[in-house]
Amino acid sequence: MTKRQERAERLMRAAIIAVVRAPRRDLAVPLSQALVAGGVIAVEITTTTPDALNAIRDVRAALGEAVMVGVGTVLENITCRGALDAGAEFVVSPILRGSMVPLCHAAEVPVMLGSYTPTEAQLAYEAGADFVKLFPADGLGPGFIKALRAPLPHLRLVPTGGVDLGNAADFLAAGCSALGVGSSLVSSEILKNQDWPELTRRAAAFMAAVRSVRP
């Protein structure tokens, strides 16, 4: 198994990928520590976070192998290269930017490309994406996942946008490989108040939902 395959397998085992849009770089380490304390070990730091690439470096230095830190909202190849240089262990784009695939694979890093329709999802797969990010997923739902996987069972689907405690288990039961969870986990209020105990509590609640489907 290659390093990229190992990382992809770890993401699927992690099940919950915390999508972090922090207002400041210095919050990246404590919020990641709070997530890991609750059992969420995959952290996607989006490029909308100020100094996001150095935030990735900070988290890797502080938490080491306890966390799997990646980069999200990657729109251009130059940003992708910078994130890989910063040590990102997975790369997520909300769009179907196939040219990122060889960059990530050369670095042994799994990449997730965005899609919304069955055609886009298949094209992301054919471009070499390790995962297909379904975004925004709030208008799709678990039923869409079941319908999509019937003719396209080879797709590793990761819905993002609209995933919460009320539907997380249903998404996983429908066949998703993992879930991207943003504001329903790492809310703006938690970040504003730096309420790390609440973040740990929410992380633990999401992991309990995972265990209800994946004992």
* Residue-wise DSSP of 149-215: HTT-TT--EEEBSS--TTTHHHHHHTT-S-EEE-TTTS-HHHHHHT-HHHHHHHHHHHHHHHHHH--
**Counted domains in the chain:** 1
Low-confidence ranges of the chain (pLDDT < 50): none
Catalytically active residues are 44, 133
What CATH number has the domain bearing residue 122? 3.20.20.70
* pLDDT score recorded for residue 215: 87
Backbone phi and psi for residue 145, each to the nearest 5 degrees, phi listed first: -60, -50
* pLDDT score recorded for residue 54: 98
- Domain housing 35: 3-213
* pLDDT score recorded for residue 105: 98
The H or E element containing residue 20 is strand 16-20
Can you tell me the distance from the alpha carbon of 47 to that of 80, in angstroms, rounded to the nearest whole number? 10
User: What's the predicted TM-score (pTM) here?
Assistant: 0.97
**Tens digits of residue pLDDT in 162-190:** 999 999 999 999 999 999 999 999 999 99
